[in-house]
Structure formats: structure tokens, C-alpha cells
Amino acid sequence: MALTRPVPPWMAECELTHVAREPIDIPRAMAQHEAYEEALRSLGVEVRRLAAAPGLPDSVFIEDTAVVLPEVAVLMQPGAASRRPEIVAVEAALLPMRRVARIIWPGTMDGGDVLVVPQMRTIFVGLSTRTNAEGAGQFRAIVEPLGYRMETVVMEGCLHLKSAATQIAGAEEKPLLLVNPRWLPAGALGGMARLEIHPEEPHGANAIGVGGVVLHGAEFTLTRHILHCHGIRVVPVVNDELAKAEGALTCCSLIFESSRAGG
């Protein structure tokens, strides 16, 4: 299942860290987000859209609000104070489906910094301008007792760990990451098989592997060619309007197995 949230009419007030502010065409962003939801549906994902969040300009980027594992949903403490109220509606949606744990201040953590590799019971956590060591430490205390190994990655040059690396191989296959090595410290994500983006497309490492295919930003044609050459089926999704708010594809949904823990 995927939880999503609408593009808010007030998105122009969004947080920006690494990109310059430019006008956002809101109707176009809304249409792109709807097409993204449709692409997920076409791959068999049940999309549940939460209500709009009045006054919260980044609320469409729901990935940052929680990390949903089969055993527990961990509510984040977004590094940007303006984003913390986004949690309330996400918590209400997750409560019927999972036990809930939370990252609490002074810990901060964005879901965009969390790369879960379920096949290896490994979770990589980016330490970034949004996720601090205290937040990562709290997260470790939640997930290690569940049998996950957690490893931190110090981020520089991009917003989140998942700006630089995402998993593209499906659940049944050997895990494979798509990475931008220039945004990762040497030796990071060791032991993981990886494909590198085309160097002219630094933002091309953010992709969603679902149902045996990869949703990938349509503008990243050079990286798409690399994926094709490796036999990977790609569904291109246009996301350039949301990218003006520094959002990529994973940011726009919270994807997880819908069955309850233990159920």
C-alpha cells in the first residue's frame, strides 16, 4: 500500500536546502502527482490519499514523516521545524495498522534519510542537515532489538540519503541499489550491489522499485538507458515540477506491506 498526500496550493512556501527557489506551477505539480499515484496503482499498489494539510507546504512529501517496517511504524521528528505538524495525520493513518514508536526531540530524523534493505535486514541512515546523531541513535534503539542491523552514512551535497541511493531490485531478487557515488562517502553502503547513475544526472538515483519494475524520473534519460542495458524495466514518471520543491519520487509516498504486524 502507499499513503500519499495532495500537492498543497501553498507549496511555494516549501523548505529548500540545495536548490534555488523558482516559481512552482501548482496545477502542473498536482497533475504530476496524480499521474504518479496512477503509476503506483497500475503496478498493483493500493494508494490511500490522506487529507490535505492546511498551511503545511511540504506535506506532499509524506515519506519524511514515518518509516514503516512490518513490525513497527516509527514516526519521525523532521529536521525542519515547519514540517513537524505533518506527523499528526500520518500517525492517525498508521495507528490501525502498526505498533507505533517515535523519534523525539532533540533527536531529529527525516524518512528520506532511511534506506531499508529488507532482504538483508539492514537499514542505512543518513546523517544530514535533517537527521542528527541523536535521532539516528533513537532509531537504532528501536530497530536493533527487532533484528535489524543499522549503519549510518554521513551525507554532504544532497538533502537526504535517498537522494543519493535507493533500492531498485524487487523483494524476491538480490538487492540492487541505484546510487550517485559523488553524494556518498567512500566505502558507504559497503557490501551492496549497485548501479551508478549517469554523472550528468546527479538527481537520478532516486527511484522506486516496486512490482518488478522501477519508477524513475522521466527526465533522467541517460540513467534510464543504463537501467535498460542491465535488463531493468523502467516506468518513467514526470516529476520536474515537484523537483522545484526539492522532492523526488520516493518522497511522495510511504510504501509498505499493508498487513498488520503479526497478522
| 248 part of the interface to ligand CIR, by CB under 6 A | yes
Active site residue 229: no
| 17 part of the interface to ligand CIR, by CB under 6 A | yes
Residue 252 in 3-state DSSP?
helix
Q: Measured between alpha carbons, how far is 64 from 121 in angstroms, rounded to an integer?
A: 21
- Say if residues 247 and 7 touch (Cβ distance below 8 Å): no
Q: Which residue number, 15 or 34, has a Cβ lying nearer to ligand CIR?
A: 15
The active-site residue out of 14, 158, 251, 252 is 251
| 251 part of the interface to ligand CIR, by CB under 6 A | yes
Q: Measured between alpha carbons, how far is 218 from 237 in angstroms, rounded to an integer?
A: 5
| 15 part of the interface to ligand CIR, by CB under 6 A | yes
Active site residue 14: no
Q: Write the CA distances from 18 to 121, 131, 168, 189, 196, integer angstroms.
A: 31, 16, 24, 23, 21
The active-site residue out of 160, 203, 216, 252 is 160
Q: Which residue is nearest to ligand CIR (CB)?
A: 112
Q: How far is the CB of 245 from ligand CIR (least distance, A)?
A: 5
- Cα dihedral 202, 4, 12, 159, rounded to 10, equals -30
Q: Measured between alpha carbons, how far is 61 from 253 in angstroms, rounded to an integer?
A: 7
Q: What residues act catalytically?
A: 160, 251
In the complex, the residues that contact ligand CIR under the rule CB under 6 A are 14-15, 17, 58, 61, 63-64, 80, 83, 112, 159-160, 162, 245-248, 251
